[in-house]
């Protein structure tokens, strides 16, 4: 056998987890991590929607359920309910049967198969331009698009002719607390007659991060086109994960199709969205009281689980080095990583970072962001 490994030249990469690794290796008792992917509760645990546990118990005790393979494109009741949640039951695309979903492994899975499809099949004759847009809870967080932004954008797309809208809706309901309001942009584009893709995730809105529930919504010109697109997506899925995982989708379908559970879920979403907004307000207020240089209105003008604080990379480096606070170099934070235990420390630290580093204080006014 060869003495040297076949993998000798494979480089080590720490790209994926480097920030979390750095945080975990930090021995400081004051350390704070501000880049959680999940929504944290006050206790520092991932939030789970209360109806989820109840539904999981119900599913575990249901003797009629087995573990047979799902269809390749996934659990049909799930894709139907999920697609209608995003597009609205009265959506023309839904009624005309030209909108359909593919049950995927999380939002990531939806983006991936959508991207692979476009790479193979989308418009080979012209320069490829895609418009990638978040419908709500923009990641990382620019101010939420107003309705006028969306209208302007939808007018530009056909003019440029080669712009394909690929929406990502990772947290419908967590931006404004209202499911329909958060889907406005997506629904506007559909109403304007666009063909589009939309990657949908239920990780954050159900707190079911670990069961990987996603849906790729396809809106096509007509049913025949939809059928053809789905047939190609099916081929792709077969070579990637064959069929999706069942449990998470079962939970979500149960909730979406049961009026009582659906109401409970909507309420819990509203409460979570309000809590997120409250954290934003408190942080902004603390910074104001401390007299932190700059303007901090953007903290509350933005919505959803993430925030672009506007901190410079030098200020981020200061926070890591001197205050053991870990966030991405872009200044992006997970709002739910801030809680009543660490709010004061985080606010004071930001104040110090902004006051003591070189360069313009980077709190931006809403006008500047626009």
Partner 1 sequence: KIKLKCRALPPPPPIDGQNLGTYRTDEGQPWVLPVVKKVEQKIANDASLNHEYLPILGLPEFRANASRIVLGEDSRAIKENRVGGVQCLGGTGGLRIGAEFLRRWYNGTNNTATPVYISSPSWENHNSVFVNAGFKDIRAYRYWDAAKRGLDLEGLLEDMESAPEFSIFVLHACAHNPTGTDPTLEQWKQIAAVMKRRFLFPFFDSAYQGFASGCLDRDAWAVRYFVSEGFELFCAQSFSKNFGLYNERVGNLSVVGKDADNVQRVLSQMEKIVRTIWSNPPSQGARIVATTLTCPQLFAEWKDNVKTMADRVLLMRSELRARLQALGTPGTWNHITEQIGMFSFTGLNPKQVEYMIKEKHIYLMASGRINMCGLTTKNLDYVASSIHEAVTKFQ
Among the listed residues 27, 61, 90, 340, the single contact to partner 1 using CB under 8 A: 61
Among the listed residues 101, 170, 177, 248, the single contact to partner 1 using CB under 8 A: 248
Cβ closest to partner 1, residue 151 vs residue 247: 247
Min CB(199)–partner 1 separation in Å: 12
Tokens, residue 325: 């606070």
Residues 211-230 that bind partner 1 (CB under 8 A): 211-212
Phi and psi angles of residue 137, each rounded to the nearest 5 degrees, phi first: 50, 50
Cβ closest to partner 1, residue 46 vs residue 317: 46
Nearest CA-CA partner of 219 in 201, 195, 199, 198:
195
How many whole angstroms separate alpha carbon 149 and alpha carbon 152? Answer: 5
Site string for partner 1, 84-123 (x = CB under 8 A): ---------------------xx-xx--x---x-------
Cβ closest to partner 1, residue 191 vs residue 247: 247
How many whole angstroms separate alpha carbon 37 and alpha carbon 90? Answer: 33
Residue 64 interacts with partner 1 (CB under 8 A): yes or no: no
Tokens, residue 32: 């704070």
Min CB(267)–partner 1 separation in Å: 19
Contact (CB, 8 A) for 362 and 350: no
Among the listed residues 191, 247, 290, 369, the single contact to partner 1 using CB under 8 A: 247
Residue 183 interacts with partner 1 (CB under 8 A): yes or no: no
Beta-strand runs (E) in 64-126: 99-105
User: Does the N-terminal peptide bond of residue 140 adopt cis geometry, omega within 30 degrees of 0?
Assistant: yes
Residue 160 interacts with partner 1 (CB under 8 A): yes or no: no
How many whole angstroms separate alpha carbon 338 and alpha carbon 345? Answer: 10
Taking contact as CB under 8 A, which single stretch among the options 49-57, 176-184, 263-271, 341-349 is the one that binds partner 1?
Answer: 49-57
How many whole angstroms separate alpha carbon 362 and alpha carbon 295? Answer: 8
Count of all residues that appear for the chain in the document: 370
Nearest CA-CA partner of 325 in 354, 349, 296:
349
**Residue 119 CB neighbours (<10 A):** 9
Min CB(370)–partner 1 separation in Å: 33
Min CB(40)–partner 1 separation in Å: 10
Distance of CA 186 to the CA centre of its chain: 14
Taking contact as CB under 8 A, which single stretch among the options 156-164, 231-239, 262-270, 293-301 is the one that binds partner 1?
Answer: 231-239
Among the listed residues 232, 241, 282, 352, the single contact to partner 1 using CB under 8 A: 241
Residues 6+ apart with CB under 8 A from 213: 78, 103, 106, 201, 202, 203, 206, 248, 249, 251, 252
Helix (H, G, I), strand (E, B) or coil at 61: coil
Min CB(204)–partner 1 separation in Å: 11
Residue 6 interacts with partner 1 (CB under 8 A): yes or no: yes
Residue 289 interacts with partner 1 (CB under 8 A): yes or no: no
Min CB(221)–partner 1 separation in Å: 27
Helices (H), 135-246: 147-160, 179-182, 184-191, 203-206, 223-238
Determine whether 321 is exposed, middle or buried from the number of CB atoms within 10 Å of its CB (0-12, 13-18, 19+): exposed
Residue 25 interacts with partner 1 (CB under 8 A): yes or no: no
Number of residues that bind partner 1 (CB under 8 A): 58
Tokens, residue 186: 């997506």
Among the listed residues 27, 29, 239, 259, the single contact to partner 1 using CB under 8 A: 239
How many whole angstroms separate alpha carbon 210 and alpha carbon 367? Answer: 39
Cβ closest to partner 1, residue 105 vs residue 136: 105
Min CB(122)–partner 1 separation in Å: 17
Site string for partner 1, 304-343 (x = CB under 8 A): ----------------------------------------
- Binding footprint of partner 1 on the chain (CB under 8 A): 1-2, 4-17, 37-38, 45-46, 48, 52, 56-57, 59-61, 66-70, 105-106, 108-109, 112, 116, 203, 207-212, 235-236, 238-248
């Amino acid at each position: 056998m060869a003495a040297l490994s076949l993998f000798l030249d494979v480089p080590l990469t720490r790209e994926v987890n480097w920030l979390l690794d750095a945080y975990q290796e930090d021995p400081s008792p004051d350390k704070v991590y501000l880049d959680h992917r999940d929504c944290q509760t006050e206790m520092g645990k991932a939030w789970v929607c209360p109806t989820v546990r109840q539904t999981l118990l119900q599913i575990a005790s249901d003797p009629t359920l087995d573990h047979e393979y799902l269809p390749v494109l996934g659990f049909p009741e799930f894709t139907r309910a999920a697609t209608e949640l995003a597009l609205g039951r009265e959506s023309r695309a839904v009624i005309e049967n030209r909108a359909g979903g593919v049950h995927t492994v999380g939002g990531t899975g939806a983006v991936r198969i959508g991207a692979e499809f476009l790479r193979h099949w989308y418009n080979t004759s012209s320069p490829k331009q895609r418009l990638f847009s978040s419908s709500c809870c923009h990641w990382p967080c620019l101010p939420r698009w107003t309705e006028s932004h969306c209208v302007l954008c939808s007018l530009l797309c056909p003019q440029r002719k080669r712009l394909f809208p690929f929406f990502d809706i990772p947290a419908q309901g967590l931006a404004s607390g209202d499911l329909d309001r958060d889907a406005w942009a997506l629904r506007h584009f559909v109403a304007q007659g666009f063909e589009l893709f939309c990657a949908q995730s239920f990780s954050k809105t159900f707190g079911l991060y670990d069961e990987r529930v996603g849906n790729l919504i396809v809106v096509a010109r007509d049913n025949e086109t939809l059928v053809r697109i789905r047939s190609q997506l099916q081929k792709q899925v077969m070579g990637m994960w064959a069929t999706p995982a069942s449990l998470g989708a079962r939970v979500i379908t149960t909730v979406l199709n049961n009026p009582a559970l659906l109401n409970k879920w909507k309420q819990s979403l509203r409460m979570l969205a309000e809590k997120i907004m409250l954290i934003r307000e408190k942080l902004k207020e603390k910074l104001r009281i401390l007299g932190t240089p700059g303007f901090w209105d953007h903290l509350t003008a933005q919505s959803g689980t993430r925030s672009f604080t506007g901190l410079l990379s030098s200020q981020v480096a200061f926070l890591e080095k001197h205050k053991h606070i870990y966030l991405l170099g872009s200044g992006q934070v997970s709002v739910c990583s801030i809680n009543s235990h660490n709010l004061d420390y985080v606010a004071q630290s930001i104040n110090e970072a902004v006051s003591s580093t070189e360069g313009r204080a980077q709190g931006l006014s809403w006008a500047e962001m626009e």
